[in-house]
Amino acid sequence: MNLYHAHRRPGTTLVELLLFLAFFAVVGGTVISILFATSDQRVRQQTIASVERTGLQALQGLRWRIEHAERVTDPPRGHSGSNLALQMASESDDPLIIGADSGSLVFVLHDTKKTLTPEGMTVSHFVVRNMSPSATHPAVLLSFDLAETYPLPSSQVSQYLQHFEMAVSLLPDDAPVGNECGCAVPACQGGTYRWQVCTADECVPAITTLPCS
C-alpha cells in the first residue's frame, strides 16, 4: 500500500481542466471587452475633436469674409433664409454667397464655388438670419449642424453631431462701391438659388447655382 502511494504522481483532473478553461474564457472575454471599449472611446474622442475643429475653422474663415462685405443683399432685414448673399467691393468677388450644397458648407465668390468642410462630414440645417438693426449697420446670424459617421473597433457604427452658431457684424462702410452694374439681388427660384454677375459691365446669369428652400 505504501509502495503504491509512493509511485503516484499528482495530475490534473478533467474537472480541474474544465474549470481552468472556463476561468480563462471569462478573463479573456473581460480583457477583450476592455480593449474594445478603450478603442471605441479613443475613436469617439478623435471624431469629436475633428468635428469641433472643422466647424470652428469654417466659422472663422467665413467671419473675415462677412466682416469685409459691404452689405447684406439676401435675406432681407429681419428675415431668415437658407443662403446668405453679400455685396463685395471687388467685382471679382461680388457677390459672395454662403450656403450648403450636397451636405457640404460652401461659399461662392462671383461664380467660383469653394468647399469649407471635408468629405465624410455632413452639414445640415444651415440657416442665416439677417439681424441688421438698420440698413447702415448690417449683421447676420449663421447656424448649422455638422456631423460625422464613424465605424468603431467593436463593429458598431456611430455618429457625432455638433451645432455651430455665429453672429457677425459687417464693418461700417459709408460709401459702398460694389455691384456697379446694378445686378439683381440673388433669389431662390423653384428650389434653386440664382444670381447675376457683372462681366464686361453687363449683368449675366451666374453659371454656379446652389439649392435653396
| Cell numbers placing 11 | 495530475
Q: Is the pLDDT of residue 34 over 60?
A: no
**Does residue 189 lie within any of the structural domains?**
no
Q: What is the pLDDT of residue 115?
A: 96
Peptide bond into 75 cis (omega under 30): yes
**Does residue 71 lie within any of the structural domains?**
yes
Domain count along the chain: 1
Residues paired with residue 197 on neighbouring β-strands, in sequence order? 204
Query: What domain range includes position 28?
Result: 13-176
**Does residue 20 lie within any of the structural domains?**
yes
Q: Is the pLDDT of residue 84 over 70?
A: yes
Can you give the pTM of this predicted structure? 0.80
**Does residue 184 lie within any of the structural domains?**
no
Please identify which residue in the block is written with the cell numbers 431662390.
Answer: 188
pLDDT band at 1 (very low <50, low <70, confident <90, very high): very low
* CA atoms within a 13 Å half-sphere pointing along the CA-CB vector of 161: 9
**Does residue 188 lie within any of the structural domains?**
no
Please identify which residue in the block is written with the cell numbers 460652401.
Answer: 106
Q: What is the pLDDT of residue 156?
A: 79
**Does residue 207 lie within any of the structural domains?**
no
Least confident among 54-68, 82-96, 165-179, 197-211: 165-179
**Does residue 105 lie within any of the structural domains?**
yes
**Does residue 190 lie within any of the structural domains?**
no
Residue 180 near residue 199 (C-beta atoms within 8 A): no
DSSP 22-84: HHHHHHHHHHHHHHHHHHHHHHHHHHHHHHHHHHHHHHHHHHHHHHT-SEEEESPTT-EES-E
Q: Is the pLDDT of residue 180 over 70?
A: yes
Q: Is the pLDDT of residue 62 over 90?
A: yes
